[in-house]
Structure 1
Amino acid sequence: MYFKHHKSYLLVAFVFLFFTSVLNLQAQNSSKKQFVVVIDAGHGGHDPGNRGSGYYEKHIALDVALAVGKELEKHQDIKVIYTRKTDVFIPLHKRAQIANDAKADLFVSIHCNAHGSSAHGTETFVLGLHNSKANLEIAMKENSVIYLEEDYEVTYGGFDPNDKSSYIGMTLMQEEYLDQSILLADFIQKEYTNKLKRVNRGVKQAGLLVLRETVMPSVLTEIGFLSYKPEGSYLNSSKGKSDVAKSIENGILNYKKSLNLNLFNTPIEINEASSSQNNKKEYTDNYDDITFKVQVAAGSTAIETNPYNFKGLQNISREKEGKYYKYYYGATSSYKEVQNFLEEAKKAGYENSYIVAFKDEKKISVNDALKTKKD
């Protein structure tokens, strides 16, 4: 009788320990797999943002930010962190610090635009050199919030939002994450344009302080112009806020999906006879010391570059940049040929693939590469 009870106790103890260990392991795996997104509602507290048409940018930005986060939180593999959840003032460097301390995978700052004209539509910014007066004006406007902070000269190393020379070299701060930031910005803009039929003002670069301070892919999205009355009214409405939040959410999810390397494990047959890499056609538009490639994917996991992992595409190369592995299709000094590679990648299923350029093994912009054409 004693041994019978003893065996029963041992069995119960074993089952308890087994399930406890399984639950602990699942919890550990869950936390490791979480994709951390920091949602930043622009302005707040004694900083109202712009007051176009009498609306408050700080309130609209907060409502949209909370709506985006609420939907993202429904995904178990996503962790959402807010820079603010109430009407409080948060200095720009503190917003970035929140993201950096959380080791976030993404930083998305939400703002509303304003202008003394009938300008309207959406635009999403990444850090970089502003190539137009309009972009510089937006950077100066958004950065001027630091004047509301104590000791801003010390905090931002003498940066003056109204001094053009302060913006020189800012693009280097986020160079490592520029590709991912542009990709995220493009996903968000496509949602605004394709789903909501909003006016697309494009993906742009500007010297925005809040993006300079972050160490992960980061964007600032201007969801519309409050100063344009029809758009301001829409953005201040429940429907407008809900629509915009859904677009930002979908943009983030599409970006995350593009990093999910498990998607590559669906082999797709490619007719080798039709592949430009197997044709012997010679191209004459070669660029000195330039190599063009097509980026098809990026992710935190290194996988073999075999065709069966990349939907049948051959000649895939892998390079590590920061904490991400980048996967490229093809390599050529001909811009016409890389355009063919891009078409093949998209036909294989990589709809969001794009062309990148290298000079002396260092990544440069495609525009800069095209300026080096050999006569």
Structure 2
Amino acid sequence: MQTHVFKLFVSIIIVLTFSLTKVVNAQSNDDKFVVVLDAGHGGKDPGNLGSGYKEKQIALNIVLKVGKALEKNSGIKVIYTRKTDVFVELRERAAIANRADADLFVSVHCDSHNSSAHGAGTFVMSLAKSSQNLNTAKKENEVIFLEDNYEENYNGFDPNKPESLIGISILQEEYLEQSIQLANLIQDNMVKLKRKDRKVKQDIFWVLHNTYMPSVLVETGFLTYKKEGAYLNSAKGQKEMAKSISDAILTFKDKLDGNVGKQIINENIKDTIPNEEKPIKNTVFKIQIAASSKALEPKAYNFKGLKNISRIKAGTLYKYYFGYTSDYNKAQKLQIEAKNKGYKDAFIVAYKDGKLIKLSEALKSEVN
């Protein structure tokens, strides 16, 4: 009896200790920039086997090296969708990132083709130019056939049917601009290694489709191209590719933190809007000038003298907007003013009834 009570007591202590540890860890990571790294394929899904190399292992080796480099930064928390040779469903990869409320999602792969195609490229989730790159998306999406109950889990989605691809909703659209920024940084770094530049492209990938943060898929090269396959399978090649990706992520984070002022205030303050704002009934245009993990007071001294600044929290990022107008012509002038102040990436966003809508939709309704 005493032994049973003792074991029960020990079990309770272990559970409490584990629970408290989880709470402490969660609190200690609240202010960190969370990056989810996804090694493509794994387990029963080997990926492509061009020239006899295994995509799943090369992708994992690169991801682990990326993570190791990022973990040296005390302001970054790294989460992996897999750290070993295991099978992870596509929808679960996105779910891992969403549950972590991540700031970035980066998926690493190796490409293949029945020609002499070679070079490195990056992809972001978008319907805009999907028809140009349908073959790449099709290959990466076909892994769903290895999953149990895939027809139910993916709502009848069939990677072999273009019309099925076009039916995917664009949950990533809000983060497209930032996804492209990160993709460009990664692509530029890979090109510096004298890799053939296959550019930043937009396509429809299930692994990116359901993530609620800036997300990028990296095709590090073609295993089917003998010279490139040998490079990616080598320790040197994997080290260089990992550095290209990790350096880009660090630069991306620095840009986010650096494109606003350095003064930080209590993050518990409420999101603010200009005093002159009224309930939105029709379309309203604003100029997005920055996005950062820092919560800054929306005052002119934090934004190079620009006034009429508003701030909205989206996930773990704070988005900062300049101006407020229902006149698109005036919005264009405000965009020019922001760019002249140094916000070269400033762009116009539209709201209708308080909800973010496509700019094209806003302009179409204005014409009608």
Q: TM bucket by the smaller chain?
A: 0.7 to 0.9
The 1:316–1:156 alpha-carbon spacing in structure 2 relative to 1, beyond 3 Å, is same
Deviation for aligned residue 1:122: 2.2
Aligned equivalents of 2:358, 2:117: Cα separation in 1: 29
Q: Would you say 1:344 and 2:340 are equivalent positions?
A: yes
Aligned equivalents of 1:291, 1:231: Cα separation in 2: 50
Q: Which residue of 2 aligns with 1:358?
A: 350
The correspondence for 1:327, drawn from 313, 320, 326, is 320
For the 8 Å contact 2:259–2:290, the answer to whether it is kept is no
The residue type equivalent to 1:91 in the other structure is E
Aligned equivalents of 2:338, 2:227: Cα separation in 1: 39
Unaligned runs of 5+ in 2: 1-23, 264-281
Deviation for aligned residue 1:358: 3.1
The residue type equivalent to 2:95 in the other structure is Q
Aligned equivalents of 2:194, 2:307: Cα separation in 1: 37
Q: Over aligned residues, Cα RMSD in angstroms?
A: 3.3
For the 8 Å contact 2:312–2:318, the answer to whether it is kept is yes
The residue type equivalent to 1:298 in the other structure is A
Q: Which residue of 1 aligns with 2:63?
A: 65
SS in 1 for 2:183: helix
| 1:87-123 deviation per Cα after TM superposition (whole angstroms, max 9, x unaligned) | 2222212222222232222211100112223333222
For the 8 Å contact 1:265–1:311, the answer to whether it is kept is no
SS in 1 for 2:217: strand
The correspondence for 1:265, drawn from 221, 242, 262, is 262
Question: Among the aligned pairs, what percent are the same residue?
Answer: 54
The correspondence for 1:200, drawn from 197, 200, 203, is 197
More moved, 240-249 vs 301-310: 301-310
Q: Would you say 1:91 and 2:89 are equivalent positions?
A: yes
The 1:75–1:90 alpha-carbon spacing in structure 2 relative to 1, beyond 3 Å, is same
For the 8 Å contact 2:339–2:346, the answer to whether it is kept is no
Aligned equivalents of 1:198, 1:368: Cα separation in 2: 39
For the 8 Å contact 1:182–1:203, the answer to whether it is kept is yes
The correspondence for 1:228, drawn from 225, 247, 252, is 225
Q: Would you say 1:173 and 2:171 are equivalent positions?
A: yes
Q: Which residue of 1 aligns with 2:74?
A: 76
| 1:198-230 deviation per Cα after TM superposition (whole angstroms, max 9, x unaligned) | 333232222211112323322211112222333
Deviation for aligned residue 1:146: 0.9
The residue type equivalent to 1:212 in the other structure is H
Unaligned runs of 5+ in 1: 1-25, 267-288
The 1:342–1:59 alpha-carbon spacing in structure 2 relative to 1, beyond 3 Å, is farther
Q: Which residue of 2 aligns with 1:297?
A: 290
Q: Which residue of 2 aligns with 1:54?
A: 52
More moved, 301-310 vs 312-321: 312-321
Q: How many residues align?
A: 323
Aligned equivalents of 1:368, 1:185: Cα separation in 2: 26
SS in 2 for 1:159: coil
Aligned equivalents of 1:226, 1:126: Cα separation in 2: 21
Deviation for aligned residue 1:153: 0.9
The 1:323–1:101 alpha-carbon spacing in structure 2 relative to 1, beyond 3 Å, is closer
Aligned equivalents of 2:33, 2:361: Cα separation in 1: 33
Report the TM-score, using the length of structure 1 for normalisation.
0.74
Q: Would you say 1:213 and 2:213 are equivalent positions?
A: no
Report the TM-score, using the length of structure 2 for normalisation.
0.75
Between Structure 1 and Structure 2, whose CA radius of gyration is higher? Answer: 1
The 1:160–1:110 alpha-carbon spacing in structure 2 relative to 1, beyond 3 Å, is same
Deviation for aligned residue 1:354: 4.0
Deviation for aligned residue 1:132: 4.6
The residue type equivalent to 2:350 in the other structure is F
User: Aligned ranges for residues 7-156 of structure 1 at < 5 Å?
Assistant: 30-129=28-127, 131-156=129-154
The 1:100–1:143 alpha-carbon spacing in structure 2 relative to 1, beyond 3 Å, is same
Q: Which residue of 2 aligns with 1:278?
A: none
More moved, 290-299 vs 307-316: 290-299
Aligned equivalents of 2:33, 2:68: Cα separation in 1: 15
For the 8 Å contact 2:259–2:292, the answer to whether it is kept is no
Q: Which residue of 2 aligns with 1:6?
A: none
Aligned equivalents of 1:366, 1:223: Cα separation in 2: 33
Aligned equivalents of 1:309, 1:233: Cα separation in 2: 50
